[in-house]
Amino acid sequence: MKTEKLNRVQERFDLCQTDIEWLRSWPIARVRYGSAVYSAVEAAYLAAGASLEARRLVAIKVYWGDRVVAWPLWCVSRSRPFVLAFRWDKEWRPTGWLAENTEFFASQFSRARFVEDEKPWIWAGFASLALDRSWLENGVSLLNGRFRTSFSFIADVGNYPTESKLPELED
């Protein structure tokens, strides 16, 4: 539903507004269309997998046109895995964010609901790796060591976004 809110938080995971803005400023290389994506939460799950597969941040387009990007993160101080997801509208204006335990995503989504060998099915497989507790716990350090991510490509480009730019659109 379009009125779905992404700015609800079950736990803070030691995130502050500065962390959220820093993560939001990372460049997104491409937008890929996922015709089977009907909720922002499902899009966040698939975005984590699509980003891991593509080795760059990827936004998933939800059927009403919004785009969702997800960061799988490990909170070092709390020893907790979670997903931080950002949503933009059609004009790439930020509209909200969500922080949720990875267990929630794992319990809600699986490859079984998608057609085998199609992109959402492939992304769901990569999402299970991106959200894996051990991958996150041993992942790339960011935000002064307070968090880790399973996105190994972050280490390739350094620990800071080089520029904030809007992605190329690919539908």
Q: Which residue has the higher pLDDT, 159 or 115?
A: 115
Domain that residue 38 falls in: 17-153
Calculate the average pLDDT of the chain: 81
* 4 phi and psi angles, rounded to 5 deg: -55, 135
> Would you place residue 171 in the very low, low, confident or very high pLDDT band (cuts 50, 70, 90)?
very low
167 pLDDT more than 90: no
**Max CA-CA distance within the chain?**
40
d(CA 75, CA 123): 24
Distinct helix (H) and strand (E) counts, the chain? 6, 8
Does 27 map to a domain?
Answer: yes
Q: Which residue has the higher pLDDT, 37 or 115?
A: 37
Rg (alpha carbons) of the chain, rounded to whole number = 14
Note the pLDDT of residue 17. Answer: 83
Does 159 map to a domain?
Answer: no
Note the pLDDT of residue 1. Answer: 39
Q: Which residue has the higher pLDDT, 24 or 161?
A: 24
Pick from 13-17, 35-39, 86-90: least confident? 35-39
Tokens of 127: 């999402």
Kindly give the pairing relationship between strand 58-61 and strand 30-33. parallel
Does 160 map to a domain?
Answer: no
Note the pLDDT of residue 170. Answer: 46
152 pLDDT more than 50: yes
Cβ-proximal residues to 171 (8 Å cutoff; 6+ apart), any chain:
31, 33, 61
Does 6 map to a domain?
Answer: no
Domains held by the chain: number: 1
Does 1 map to a domain?
Answer: no
Contact 114, 84 (CB under 8 A): no
Q: Which residue has the higher pLDDT, 132 or 115?
A: 132
Does 41 map to a domain?
Answer: yes
Beta bridge mates, 96: 87
Does 171 map to a domain?
Answer: no
Does 12 map to a domain?
Answer: no
